[in-house]
Structure 1
Amino acid sequence: GSRFLPCSVSAPDHLPAWWCESRAGGDNADANLSDPRLPMDQDRTSEHYAERVTGEQVALLYNYFSRQYWLLLLSPPIVVPVMWSQVAHVPLVLWGIVYVVSVLDRRLLAQRYFDARPPASEARRWGMRFTVRAAISGVLLGSCGFWMFAPYSLPHLMFLFAFLFVTSAGAALFFAPFPPAYYAFLPLATMPLVVRVLLVGTMPAIWACVAVVVYTLFMLRVGRDYGEAIRRSFELRFQNLDLVQELTRKNEEAERANRAKSQFLAAASHDLRQPMQALSLLTGTLKLRSAAGPDRDLVERIGASVEALEGLFSALLDISKLDASVIRTERGSVSLSALLTRIETDAAPGAEAKGLRLRVHRIACWVDSDPVLLRRILQNLVANAIRHTGSGTVWVGARRRGDKVRIEVRDSGSGIAAEHLDRIFEEFYQVENPGRDRRKGLGLGLAIVRRLTDLLGHTVEVRSMPGRGSTFAVTVPLAPTPGAVAEAGGSGGVRPDLLGLAVLVLEDDAEVRAALRITLEEWGCYVVAAVDAVDALSQARQRPRWRPQAILTDYRLGSGRSGIEAARSLLAHWDISIPVVLISGDTADEPLRAAQASGYELLHKPIRPQRLERLLRDLPRR
C-alpha cells in the first residue's frame, strides 16, 4: 500500500513535515490515526479496518490536491483567452475569478487539515467538507460547458469538449482516493453540457449527448475501480502492520521467556552447585579413605552418581557460556592426525566397555580451527555414536575436499528417522529416550556441537538411515601453512607434589568451605579457610609467619563483595602476587566476563577433585 503515498516520492515545501514523516514511516502514521491492538485470531474484515482506511484515503486526497492544485489554477488563463471572442467579457472574467477562488479555498481547507492532524474518527467529516467543494467545482465547470457553448464555431466547440473531458479525467486521479468527492464532481461537470447539446435538437447533437453520457459513466467506473484499489491497498497494509506487530510481540515474549529460562538456569545452577561442590570433594576424600574397605562398592556407586550430576552441570554450563557469547576462540594450525589420536585415546575405554570396535583413520594434514573447541566437538560426536550403538563399529576418519577437510564419525547403530533429523541439535531433544534414562545421555551433546561449529564457522551435517546407522560430518578449512603443533585440548606439565602448599580458601558456604579444607588438607596443603577477606586477615594474624601461595575464592561471597574484590584487597594488604582461582556456581555471563577481565583462573562448581588437584599442581610456586 505504500506505493500509493505521494510523500514517499518527494514532499513539497508547503506540506507539513509531520504528515510526510507519518506516511513514510508506516507505524507512525497509524499512531496518528488510530492504534488498535488486536489478537491474530480476530477476523480482519473490511469493517474492522474501515475507519483507519477512511483516514488514509482522506489524507491521500488532501495530499494529492496540495501537490497538484497549481494545475487547476492554469485553467482560467487558458479558457478566458480562448473563449474571449465567443462570450460576454464580464461573465467570463467573473467565472475565472470565482474558479480561482474555489481552488484557493480548497487549498486553505487542505492546510487546515494538515494543521489539525485529525484522528481517523474525524476523517469522514473532513472528506465530506472536501466533497462539498468538489461539487462546487463541478458546478463551475458545468456552467462553463453550458453558457460558453459555441455551436457556430467548430474550433471553440472542440476546445470546450476537450477542456471538459481532460479536466474530468484528471479529476479521477485527484478525487479517486475518496470516491464520494468524485461522484459529486463528475456529473455536475458533464451533465450541463449534455443538456446544452440536447437543446440543439439535431441527430448529431443527440449522438454527442449519448457519447458524453457514456464517457461520464465510464469515468465513474474508472474512478470507482481506482478508489477500490487504493482502499484495498490500505487494508492489506494495515493487515501486514497488525501481523508484524503481533509477530513482534510474540517474538518479544519468546525472548523474555528465553531470558527468564537462562536466569532461572543460572540461579538454580548456582544454588545447586554449592552442595554439589561439597558432595564432590567429600566423595573424593571418602574414596581415598575407603579404598580397601568393605564400603568400597557403595562409595564407587556414590561417585558414579556424583559424576553423572557433574556431567549434567558441565553440559548446562557449556550451553550457558555459548548463550552468553563469552567463549573466545583461539584459532591456529591443528594437526589433525594428533587430534584424532587424542580422540581415540579418550573414546577407547567407553567403546571397549560396550564391546564396540573403534576404528580411527588418520590423515596427515593441518586444519584451521581452535584445538580445544574442535576436540570438544569430535568428543561429543564420538560419545554420541558410542552411546547409541549397541553392537558393531564406530568409525572416525577424515578426507580432503578441495581446500577443506571433512571429518566424519560413523556408527552402526539404530539410525535416525528423517522426521527427527532437523531437531536432534536442539537442547534436551532425544529420539529414543522418552523415559529420560540418563544412561542414554542428556540431550545436550549435539546442541553443544551445533553451537560450537557455528562459533568456529564450521559446518556440521548428518546422514542417517533407520537400522543402518548414522554419519555426522564436520567440515573444517585446511590450514594455510603447517605451523607448530597445537595440542588438541592441551595437557600442561606436571609440577611437584602439593605437600606444604599454603592455600587460602574464601567461601561463605560452610559445607563447601569445610569440604575444600578437608580435601586440601588430605592432599597435604596448609589451609586457612575463611568466610571473607576480613575473616582471612583475622585468622592470618594468629599465624604471623603464614602467607598464602594460592587463593581459592568463591565468586560471590556472603559479605556482598565479589571474590575478585576480596582477593585484590588481600594481595594489596600483604603486598604479594600469587595465583588466584575463582570458583563460581553461576552460569550467567557476569562471572565469566569478570574472570576474563581480571585474568584469574575460573572453575565452575561442581569441581572434580582431580581437576582441582591438577590445577593446583600447575600453579607457579612463590
Structure 2
Amino acid sequence: MPLTKLKNAERNQALLRLIVAGIAEVYTLVTAAFSSIPLADSLAVLIFIALFMVVSAGLLLHVVRRPGVYPWRRVLGMAFDYTGISFTMIMGGEYLLPIYVVLLWVTVGNGMRYGSQYLAVSTTLGLIALATIFYNTPYWHAHPYVIATVVLTTVIVPAYAQVLLSQTREAYEKADAANFARSRFLAQASHDLRQPIHSISLFTACLRDADLGPEERRMVDNIDKSLHSVSQLFRSILDSYTLDNGRVAARTDVIPVKSLIDAVALQNSEVARWAGVTLKVRASRHRVRVDPNLLSTMVQNLVSNAIKYGPGGSVLIGCRQRNGTLSIEVHDQGRGISDQHLPHVFDEFYRVRQVRDKDIEGVGLGLSIVQRIGTLMGLSVRIASRAGVGTVASIDGIPIEAGPPLTPTVAPVASTRLLAGLRVLLIEDDQNVLLATATLLEKWGCQVQTATTIPSDDVQCDLVISDFDLNTEASGADCIAYMRQLSGSNIPAMLITGHDTQRVEDAVGDPTIPVLSKPVRPAELRSMLTALKAGLPLDAMPAGAARPV
C-alpha cells in the first residue's frame, strides 16, 4: 500500500476514534435519562468518555504532526481503545452492552486498515478485554451464553475478515502486476509506434517539397491525413491511460495565452485545410498561470473535435474574461449536439451518432480527457450546442496573472531560407528516422552530419539535434554535453523523444534544451530550428504540438 494511503489510514482511524467516542457519550446520556442505571455509574462513565475524547484529540494531533508508520503508536492506540471500551462496559453493565459493537469495529477496523498482523493483535486484545469485562461484570456472570456469543463473534468475524483481506490482497497484487505489465507494454509500444509514424511524417514532408504533380500531391495529402488520424487516436489512448494511472501532476507556469492558442492553431492548420474549415483566432494578450502542456492538450482536443464535426464551416478559438479569470472558447458551425446526447458527451467512449450517420474518426475519448485534465487543474469545462447551428466548448476559470497584457515577441518566420547553410549534427540510432530527418534538413538547406551515438571525431556544427534514447552507452543529453564540452561553447541543441517528455525534461534539467515529442510535425521542427538559430528564448516561440499528458 502506498505511504500516503498508510498515512491517511492512521489519521482516519484517529479521527474515527474521536467521533465514535462522541457518539458513545451521547448514547450514555440518553441511556442514563431513560433507564435505571445508577447516577454515580452514569457520571463516572460520562466523565471517563470525556477524558477519553481529550486523549483521543491528542493522539489525532500527534498523527497529523508526525505522519508516518509507527507500529508502537498503532498498538498503543488499540490498547487505549480496548481500555476505554472495557471500563465503559464494566461501569454501565447490561445497559451499555451495545458498546460491544465498538469493540468489534475496533477489532475488524484495525485489521482492514493495517493488515493481517494488526488484525491478529487487535483480536487478541479484544479477547483480553472481553475476559476483563466478564470477570468484573455481575450481569455477564448470570448470562454465560451472552459472553459465549460475543467471544465467538469476536473470533469468527475477524477470521472471516482475514480471509477476505487475503483474497483482496491477492487480487490487488495480481491487478498491480497486470497494471505494471500493461504500463511497460504501453510505454514500449508508445516508443516503437512513434518511431515509424515520425519517420513517415518526415518522408512525406520531403515528398511535399519535391516537384510533384496534382495527383501525386493529393496522394501525399492522403498519407498525411491517415498519419494524422493514427497519431491522434494513439495520443488519445495514451492520454486516457496515463490519467487512469494517476501519474499526471499539474506544473504551473506563467505563459502568454496567445502563444499557446497560436501554437494550437498552427498545429491544426493542415487538418483544417483538409476539412475545408476556416480556422480563426481571437486570443487575449493576458498572461495566465497554468500547466502549458496540459492546457495545450485540452485546447487541442476541443479544436480537433470542432474541425471533425464542423467540416466546411469555420472554427473560432477565442478568449473571454469572466469574474477575474479567463475562458478559452472554441466555436464551430457544425451540425450541433441534440439535447439527448449533450449530458453524455464527457463520458468515455461516447460518440454522438445519428441515424445513417457517416463514420467519423475517433473513439470518443477527447472530451473525457479534457474534463479530467480540467478537474486536475481546477478548471471547468462547458459545452453549449444547438442542433443545426453549432457548438461552443469553453474552458473556464483560467487564472490571470497580474500585470499589464503582453505584447508577444515576434518570432521569425519559419522559412527554409533562414536555415540555409546551418551546420547540423544529427544523432539518431533508428536508421529510418535518421535518413528521413537528414533528407528533410538537407532539403531545407542545412549541412547535415549524422551519427548514431557520441561522435568519435571532431565535428564542427552550429546546432545539435539528438534522440534522447540512443543506446546503453549514452543518451542524447550525454551527446549534447559532450559536444558542448568539446567546442567550449553552449551550442544550441534540441532533443526528440518517443517517451514521456516530462520525464526527459526532468532528466536533462536544462531549460535551454527543448524536448520535442515524436511524431514531430515538420512545421514544428522548422520553427524550433529557426528560433534556436536566431537565439530567441524558447518562450518567445509558440509551444508547438500539444504533448501527451
Residue 441 of structure 2 is aligned to residue 520 of structure 1: yes
The alignment covers a number of residue pairs equal to 439
Q: CA offsets per residue over residues 584-605 of structure 1, 9 Å max, x none?
A: 1123753242244574221122
Structure 1 residues not aligned, in runs of 5+: 36-51, 70-169, 176-180, 185-222, 541-545
Residue 412 of structure 2 is aligned to residue 493 of structure 1: yes
Give 1:343 shift: 7.7
Partner of 2:117: 31
Equivalent position amino acid for 1:502 in 2 = R
Between stretches 515-524 and 429-438, larger displacement belongs to 429-438
Partner of 2:131: 62
User: Which of 309, 315, 320 does residue 230 from structure 2 map onto?
Assistant: 309
Contact 1:505-1:528 at 8 Å conserved across structures = yes
Equivalent position amino acid for 1:585 in 2 = G
Equivalent position amino acid for 1:26 in 2 = N
Q: CA offsets per residue over residues 211-253 of structure 1, 9 Å max, x none?
A: xxxxxxxxxxxx84x9868977988788788778767776666
User: For 1:63 and 1:419, how far apart are their aligned partners in 2?
Assistant: 64
Equivalent position amino acid for 2:138 in 1 = A
Matches for 1:212-227 after TM superposition, within 5 Å: 224=146
SS at match of 1:603: strand
Q: CA offsets per residue over residues 356-394 of structure 1, 9 Å max, x none?
A: 79898x798957444955565344324313422478886
User: For 2:497 and 2:168, how far apart are their aligned partners in 1?
Assistant: 38
Between stretches 610-619 and 254-263, larger displacement belongs to 254-263
Give 1:551 shift: 1.2
User: Which of 272, 288, 302 does residue 209 from structure 2 map onto?
Assistant: 288
Residue 251 of structure 2 is aligned to residue 328 of structure 1: yes
Give 1:561 shift: 2.0
SS at match of 2:491: coil
Q: CA offsets per residue over residues 103-134 of structure 1, 9 Å max, x none?
A: xxxxxxxxxxxxxxxxxxxxxxxxxxxxxxxx
Contact 1:532-1:559 at 8 Å conserved across structures = no
Residue 342 of structure 2 is aligned to residue 415 of structure 1: no
Change (3 A) 1:553 1:481: closer
Give 1:453 shift: 2.2
User: For 2:371 and 2:299, how far apart are their aligned partners in 1?
Assistant: 11
Contact 1:433-1:440 at 8 Å conserved across structures = no
Q: CA offsets per residue over residues 258-284 of structure 1, 9 Å max, x none?
A: 544333222101112222232222221
Residue 79 of structure 2 is aligned to residue 20 of structure 1: yes
SS at match of 2:346: coil
Contact 1:262-1:588 at 8 Å conserved across structures = no
SS at match of 1:582: strand
Change (3 A) 1:241 1:437: farther
Q: CA offsets per residue over residues 48-93 of structure 1, 9 Å max, x none?
A: xxxx98x776333224368xx6xxxxxxxxxxxxxxxxxxxxxxxx
Query: Could you say which structure has the larger radius of gyration?
Result: 1
Change (3 A) 1:457 1:256: farther
Structure 2 residues not aligned, in runs of 5+: 1-15, 25-44, 57-74, 83-105, 536-549
Partner of 2:492: 579
Residue 531 of structure 2 is aligned to residue 618 of structure 1: yes
Q: CA offsets per residue over residues 273-302 of structure 1, 9 Å max, x none?
A: 222232222221122224347633333322
Give 1:443 shift: 3.5
Partner of 2:456: 537
Q: CA offsets per residue over residues 531-590 of structure 1, 9 Å max, x none?
A: 211xx224x4xxxxx511111111111343211123222322333320121121123753
TM-score, length of structure 2 as denominator length: 0.62
User: For 1:435 and 1:570, how far apart are their aligned partners in 2?
Assistant: 60
Between stretches 445-454 and 573-582, larger displacement belongs to 445-454
Contact 2:288-2:400 at 8 Å conserved across structures = yes
Contact 1:280-1:608 at 8 Å conserved across structures = yes
User: For 2:404 and 2:506, how far apart are their aligned partners in 1?
Assistant: 31
Change (3 A) 1:481 1:390: same
Give 1:483 shift: 1.8
Change (3 A) 1:619 1:398: closer
SS at match of 2:381: strand
Contact 1:321-1:327 at 8 Å conserved across structures = no
Contact 1:326-1:589 at 8 Å conserved across structures = no
SS at match of 1:612: helix
Contact 2:116-2:162 at 8 Å conserved across structures = no
User: For 1:29 and 1:280, how far apart are their aligned partners in 2?
Assistant: 53
User: For 1:506 and 1:339, how far apart are their aligned partners in 2?
Assistant: 29
Percent of residue pairs bearing the same amino acid type: 26
Residue 381 of structure 2 is aligned to residue 460 of structure 1: yes
Change (3 A) 1:241 1:418: farther
Give 1:618 shift: 1.5
SS at match of 2:520: coil
Partner of 2:404: 483
Equivalent position amino acid for 1:413 in 2 = R
SS at match of 1:325: coil
Partner of 1:271: 192
Partner of 1:144: none
Q: CA offsets per residue over residues 330-368 of structure 1, 9 Å max, x none?
A: 235757xx98898888878867876779898x7989574
